[in-house]
Chains A and B, each alone.
Chain A
Amino acid sequence: LAKTTQPISMDSYEGQEVNITCSHNNIATNDYITWYQQFPSQGPRFIIQGYKTKVTNEVASLFIPADRKSSTLSLPRVSLSDTAVYYCLVAPPENFNKFYFGSGTKLNVKP
């Protein structure tokens, strides 16, 4: 089971780009990297998923280096509404009981 390490918290200001890095040194060959966002009093929400290189969608980008031992979630031009906890998960997609959420990164966006 690939454990992940993320910063406990980060501060940013509105309009800035925010990069949250997740370390997963023992990632396995068939593991995917998935990021979720959670607002207070809500369940986590899927943001983005990738295997290698770069993935981009309308919300974020995910950068994965060649060795795949880390990944970086990039949020362009954050707003106050991006204040949330962000979780990085590493798991093979078919192993449902291997989704380890950890404590996530609390992103605080200031005006």
Chain B
Amino acid sequence: DVKVTQSSRYLVKRTGEKVFLECVQDMDHENMFWYRQDPGLGLRLIYFSYDVKMKEKGDIPEGYSVSREKKERFSLILESASTNQTSMYLCASSSGQGRSPLHFGNGTRLTVT
């Protein structure tokens, strides 16, 4: 069974801090994704990566960057956290083949004060 693990379940940071959210998957999947989920807005794609060191912007990349140095790990970076980045962050992975579904982690609830 695919496991996607997010390093923190809850995180509280201060405005202006640099924040790292880590995600690891154990199924050798090519593709990895970062979403944020907010009430009434559903899930919105921030960034995705289809290979090591490759990344593509999603719908809302502003204020975020990502890093994928190894296939199993995909990091989301908030360069300077702001209160409007308080949200639930979800990492997902999928294989590169055809109709492979997304496998999600359990999320990191980030609060920026």
Contacts and interface: CB of A to CB of B under 8 A. Distances in A.
Interface of A: 32, 34, 36, 41-46, 49, 87, 93-94, 96-97, 99, 101-104
A34 B33 contact: no
Nearest to B105: A43
The A interface is mostly helix, strand or loop, or mixed, namely: loop
Contact of B103 (A46, A87, A94, A101): A46
A49 B101 contact: yes
Given A101-B42, A102-B42, A43 B107 contact: yes
Interface string B8-27: 00000000000000000000
Contacts of B87: none
A93 B107 contact: no
Question: Which range holds the interface residue count of chain B?
Answer: 20 to 34
Contact of B31 (A41, A96, A103): A96
Contacts of B106: 41-43
B21 to A, nearest CB: 13
Q: Which of A41, A43, A99, A102 has the largest count of B CB atoms less than 10 A from its CB?
A: A43
A42 B81 CA distance: 23
B101 A43 contact: no
A97 B105 contact: no
A97 B94 CA distance: 13
A81 to B, nearest CB: 17
* Nearest 5 A/B pairs, CB to CB: A43-B104, A46-B101, A101-B43, A93-B99, A101-B42
In the complex, which of the residues B98, B104, B106 has the most CB atoms of chain A within 10 Å of its own CB atom? B104
B45 A97 contact: yes
Interface in B60-111: 90-92, 94, 98-107, 109
24 contacts: A34-B101, A36-B101, A36-B102, A41-B107, A42-B104, A42-B107, A43-B4, A43-B105, A43-B106, A44-B102, A44-B104, A46-B101, A46-B102, A49-B99, A87-B43, A93-B98, A93-B99, A96-B48, A97-B58, A97-B59, A99-B45, A102-B42, A103-B40, A103-B41
